[in-house]
Chain A
Amino acid sequence: MTRPAHQVEPRERLANLYRAESRRVLATLVRLLGDFDLAEEALQDAFAAAVEQWPRDGIPANPRAWLVSTGRFKAIDRLRRRARFDALLGELAARLDEQAPDPAEQADELLEDDRLRLIFTCCHPALPPDAQVAMTLREVCGLTTEEIARAFLTAPPTVAQRIVRAKARIRDARISYEVPSPAELPERLEPVLRVVYLIFTEGYAPAAGDAVLRADLADEAIRLGRLLVDLLPEPEPEALGLLALLLLHHSRRAARATADGEVVLLPDQDRSLWDRQQIAEGAGLLRRASASGRIGPYTLQAAIAAAHAEAPTAEATDWDQIVRLYDLLARADPSPVIELNRAAAVAMRDGPATGLSLIDAILARGQLDTFPLAHAARADLLRRLGRIPEARAAYQRALDLSRQEPQRRFLRRRLRELGHPADDG
């Protein structure tokens, strides 16, 4: 089963393999060993064994199967040695040894399913949302605790604790490691899609701090979105819609900021910088999602993003279509933020005064009073209506609320343009 190594150094090959395969191998080991921590130890053991043996014996024909079967063997061995101090571990070792079939003989589909099992377990509804995000980034994407903490501007021990508690919860609540049945799938997929979306938005428009650092979170989210589309037995329309949405938004990344990190709003973006390949891929996915006839909120948002992406110029944007899509979205997934976006689209179609009265109505309900973008949108409409002092006050309110550095710079710029230096108080 081994062949001599050639061309690529085993060590270099091993490093590449770790990046490409470690998550898949972990996903299968969790199934075979029934425990995250034991699987992680087994994964490290398997790669340690590979470092030792491959340069000497050559790289096995099927490295993934070798890693899985070595990891499983090492874990059982480990448990047997620990049984000296804890007899229960000996029983566990014996049970694992009997039960598990030789993983080398397992079909690829089963191994692919393990990756889905891992995602559904990390996003299990019994876990709190921030734990779902941390578990997914660490176990599925392979980020370290410290990287996740940096991405979410949290302290590493806080993230570590979420992960420790999540694993304890999975163990204590005996959450089974499985892909939900077709009947449960839509319900169980919902938190998975939300986690992917949250990871993307944190990378795309981080809630605080400097944006530039977090571009790779958006890449991780797209990778996860692709994984879902590729692995789900029958691609769920909303999984297609979500990936379409992420790609369509991501396609604009080069145009969203100037070289020195200043925000460029959609109407002012250089559309030649948009990634046409991603737009085409997103549009294709959107068509597949729409063809299903079951159109959910992610697909509707993707349709809105596509309407922007397909307009050759900002002026040529089909605002009527966008308003109609927002109407559907507001019905499918009612939220004040969607109403706000709808109001901005109405302002483009029917003029700033109409949009302003809608935004004022939303703000009057008090729901978005602390949301900086609501005040920024209101300020923009006031500015277009020539009501400059009110526009200034609204920009200032947005600035007071915003914690995103690029957004704050943008708001200060607007205030300066209105002849009013920002009050950073």
Chain B
Amino acid sequence: MKYLCLVYADEAELNALPQDQVDALIDETMATNEELAASGHLILAEALEQVASAATVRVRDGRLSATDGPFAETNEQLGGFWLIEARDLNEAIHIAGRLPSARVGTVEVRPVIDLLRERSPR
């Protein structure tokens, strides 16, 4: 099964980290990703720009609108994601717990669903 691990963290807190801690976090993250790739668990992992760079898009009545910033204002912002392959939810949780980001933020683990299975038969 595929799971998406969404990392939420307080950007202000992250911005306040001294550079050597940021470096250590990045090195450890790269090493963890290598491990996850070697064990066949990693599908894709990316870090995201800060929310100030976000645009929110909607189409209503055929008209596109784009607004600044994220859809919802929260204390913790989405900062990155890991798309992983795991045997089950417990393995996914274990992998999420190994992500260095779990120590600075929180990781939401969401199973990926197969849209075609959700669809009623044609």
Contacts and interface: CB of A to CB of B under 8 A. Distances in A.
A48 B90 CA distance: 19
Contacts of B28: 84-85
B35 interface: yes
Nearest to A149: B89
Interface in A155-210: 156-157, 159-160, 163-164
A160 B39 contact: no
B31 interface: yes
A81 B35 contact: yes
Given A45-B39, A81-B31, A85-B100, 12 more contacts: A37-B94, A41-B39, A44-B40, A44-B87, A48-B40, A78-B35, A84-B28, A144-B89, A145-B88, A145-B89, A146-B89, A147-B88
Contacts of A145: 88-90
A57 B62 CA distance: 60
B68 interface: no
A220 interface: no
Interface of A: 37, 40-41, 44-45, 48, 78, 81-82, 84-85, 138, 144-147, 156-157, 159-160, 163-164
A146 B94 contact: no
10 contacts: A37-B94, A40-B91, A48-B39, A84-B27, A85-B28, A144-B1, A144-B89, A146-B89, A160-B90, A163-B90
Given A44-B40, A48-B40, A164 B93 contact: yes
Contacts of A40: 91, 94
Given A44-B39, A48-B40, A81-B35, A144 B88 contact: yes
7 closest cross-chain pairs (CB), A and B: A144-B88, A145-B89, A145-B88, A160-B89, A145-B90, A85-B28, A156-B89
Contacts of B87: 44, 144
A371 B59 CA distance: 55
Contacts of A157: 89
B94 A84 contact: no
A39 to B, nearest CB: 11
A164 B39 contact: no
Interface hub of B24, B88, B93 (most chain A Cβ within 10 A): B88
A139 to B, nearest CB: 10
A146 B88 contact: yes
The residue in B1, B89, B91 that gathers the most chain A C-beta atoms within 10 A of its C-beta is B89
A151 to B, nearest CB: 13
A82 B93 CA distance: 19
A164 B90 contact: yes
A65 to B, nearest CB: 21
A84 B31 contact: yes
Contacts of A159: 89
A327 B15 CA distance: 73
B45 to A, nearest CB: 17
A37 to B, nearest CB: 5
A163 B1 CA distance: 18
A163 B100 CA distance: 22
B35 A138 contact: no
B43 to A, nearest CB: 15
B102 to A, nearest CB: 13
